[in-house]
């Protein structure tokens, strides 16, 4: 099994269990200490889906593919800003508002 396949399996395992000790990961996936450190670095520093609390990996699920991520966080600040995508409302649409309808 390749390293990235192991990362994917460990990521799924961590997501399911939420908190997993490094020792448990080492035993579950039969990892040597160097590979365990690389796996931990991948999940914490590269994918940003876990944090390391001592010898425990804790799932945060805040990776780049997370759907709740705010687009302003990755939109370049050099793009021009628009005040309104549609511009000001027209008089015709303002005259059709419920408050101006006859009674």
Look at residue 61 in the predicted model and tell me its pLDDT. Answer: 87
Q: What is the mean pLDDT of the chain?
A: 80
Delimit the domains of the chain by residue range.
3-59
- Taking the model in full, what pTM does it have? 0.60
CB contact at 8 A, 3 and 10: no
The predicted-structure confidence for 9-54, as pLDDT tens digits, reads as follows 999 999 999 999 999 999 999 999 999 999 999 999 999 999 999 9
Residues forming a β-bridge with 18: none
Q: Does residue 75 or residue 44 have the better pLDDT?
A: 44
Look at residue 66 in the predicted model and tell me its pLDDT. Answer: 46
């Amino acid at each position: 099994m390749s390293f990235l396949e192991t990362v994917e399996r460990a990521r799924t395992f961590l997501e399911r269990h939420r908190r997993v000790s490094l020792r448990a990961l080492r035993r579950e996936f039969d990892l040597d200490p160097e590979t365990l450190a690389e796996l931990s670095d991948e999940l914490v520093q590269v994918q940003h889906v876990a944090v390391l609390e001592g010898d425990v990996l804790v799932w945060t699920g805040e990776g780049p593919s997370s759907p709740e991520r705010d687009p302003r966080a990755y939109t370049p600040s050099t793009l021009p800003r628009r005040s309104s995508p549609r511009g000001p409302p027209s008089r015709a649409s303002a005259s059709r508002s419920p408050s101006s309808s006859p009674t």
